[in-house]
């Protein structure tokens, strides 16, 4: 794939973030990006040794809530917040709050974000096109137990980048390679048409998971990709994400196994009812199978749990399929990352660029430097980047707001 060809078709969404780390204090953070929802208290200290301490609880979001009404979803989120505040003894404390919301949003301000479209299995009604911060505030009012000062809405890529930049100032890219797939980076202000000013840089959330919606990935999509796409909640959408993210890799493998079995190349040509079940081959199986070094025992155990009576040859083939699907996902992410890194180098008129990427997710062992030969790319694995990053950005935004209110 041409790196520039990939980049020209990214969906660019602006994130209103300026990087500075002189803030301190205590902040609340919410992290919504998948089937689990986290509520956190983050304590930031600055000085000779910066430190961030976190306390959090994880709450499940049932499928019927994910795919119900928007009101039900945000009421559930507020119920989780209420439980956490009780747990921490903070019901009467009004702390600044950052909301990590890991879905495509059109941000018109640091605390304003209109949901463009749901991804990753969410389909709650009456949310797309609406400001999710307003939806959260309305749900808080309906519960009428507490109030929150919602200062910032943040994408998980931005939170990851900010968290890693707190440790390494060269970190100017955030990559998510987990349930979903996305990247953000620091773009030159003079290249951003939608914002006034030409000085400095601003964080851009590419939402690269949506690449391919104009059929510009057809050359690399397979019939298995089309099966997975057609059976998803959003056919035709997030096509790049469906080839690279944890939500879909297991289902791609299942489609391949069914095809090989139909051809008589696997499982003696017998397809079990369980193998016909959508989602039965979990993405976590891929890493478990790929890491199996002990006579394929792990592979056979997983296949037996799926009701598949496998031979040694079957196990070898399944392992090869899992490896091929994972490698392709990593290589596609690497190609996209190379496009971003090379663009930053060209933006700055450099012959050689050294840059750090903050990464969260299971496909982080990528090597895009092979695709961007004039760049040296280092990776930092983020720890709890989404929630911590939301708190850091909230700290920055609140400090900026205070400074604007102070007389000069």
Q: Is 315 a catalytic residue?
A: no
Distance CA 235, CA 229 (A): 5
* Dihedral angle sign, alpha carbons of residues 329, 375, 371, 338: positive
In three-state secondary structure terms, 95 is: coil
Any catalytic annotation for residue 2? no
Catalytic residue among 38, 239, 254, 300: 38
360 in active site: no
Query: Residues 31, 75, 102, 232: which is the catalytic one?
Result: 102
The closest alpha carbon to 74, from 134, 156, 15, 148, belongs to 134
Query: CA 76 → CA 68, 71, 130, 143, 330, distances in Å?
Result: 11, 8, 18, 10, 35
Alpha-carbon distance values, 36 to 33, 110, 116, 125, 265 (Å)? 7, 24, 21, 19, 38
CA distance 348 to 354: 12
Burial class (CB in 10 A: 0-12, 13-18, 19+), 221: middle
Distance CA 233, CA 235 (A): 6
Nearest to 366 by CA among 377, 375, 374: 377
Residues annotated as part of the active site:
38, 102, 156
């Amino acid at each position: 794939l041409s790196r520039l060809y990939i980049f020209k078709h990214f969906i660019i969404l602006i994130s209103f973030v300026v990087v500075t780390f002189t803030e301190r204090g205590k902040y609340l953070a919410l992290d919504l990006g998948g089937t689990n929802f986290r509520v956190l208290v983050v304590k930031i200290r600055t000085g000779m040794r910066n430190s961030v301490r976190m306390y959090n609880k994880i709450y499940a979001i049932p499928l019927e809530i994910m795919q119900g009404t928007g009101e039900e979803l945000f009421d559930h989120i507020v119920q989780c917040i209420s439980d956490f505040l009780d747990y921490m003894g903070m019901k009467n404390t009004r702390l600044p709050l950052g909301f990590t919301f890991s879905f495509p949003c059109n941000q018109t301000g640091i605390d304003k974000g209109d949901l463009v479209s749901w991804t990753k299995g969410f389909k709650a009604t009456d949310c797309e096109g609406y400001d999710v911060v307003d939806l959260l505030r309305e749900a808080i009012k309906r519960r009428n137990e507490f109030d929150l000062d919602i200062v910032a809405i943040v994408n998980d890529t931005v939170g990851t980048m900010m968290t890693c930049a707190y440790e390494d100032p060269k970190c100017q890219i955030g990559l998510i390679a987990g349930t979903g797939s996305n990247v953000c980076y620091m773009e030159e202000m003079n290249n951003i048409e939608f914002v006034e000013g030409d000085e400095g840089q601003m964080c851009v959330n590419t939402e690269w998971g949506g690449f391919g919606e104009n059929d510009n990935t057809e050359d690399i999509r397979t019939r298995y990709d089309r099966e997975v796409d057609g059976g998803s909640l959003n056919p035709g959408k997030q096509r790049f994400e469906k080839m690279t993210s944890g939500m879909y890799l297991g289902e791609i493998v299942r489609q391949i196994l069914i095809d090989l079995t139909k051809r008589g190349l696997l499982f003696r040509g017998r397809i079990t009812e369980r193998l016909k079940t959508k989602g039965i081959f979990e993405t976590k199986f891929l890493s478990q199978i790929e890491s199996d070094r002990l006579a394929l025992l792990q592979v056979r155990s997983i296949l037996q749990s799926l009701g598949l009576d496998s031979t040694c040859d079957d196990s070898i083939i399944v392992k090869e399929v899992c490896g091929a699907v994972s490698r392709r996902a990593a290589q596609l992410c690497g190609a996209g990352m190379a496009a971003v890194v090379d663009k930053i180098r060209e933006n700055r008129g450099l012959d050689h660029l050294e840059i750090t990427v903050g990464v969260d997710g299971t496909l982080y062992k990528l090597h895009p430097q092979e695709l961007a030969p004039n760049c040296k790319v280092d990776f930092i694995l983020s720890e709890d980047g989404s929630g911590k990053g939301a708190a850091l950005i909230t700290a920055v935004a609140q400090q900026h707001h205070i400074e604007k209110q102070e007389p000069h």
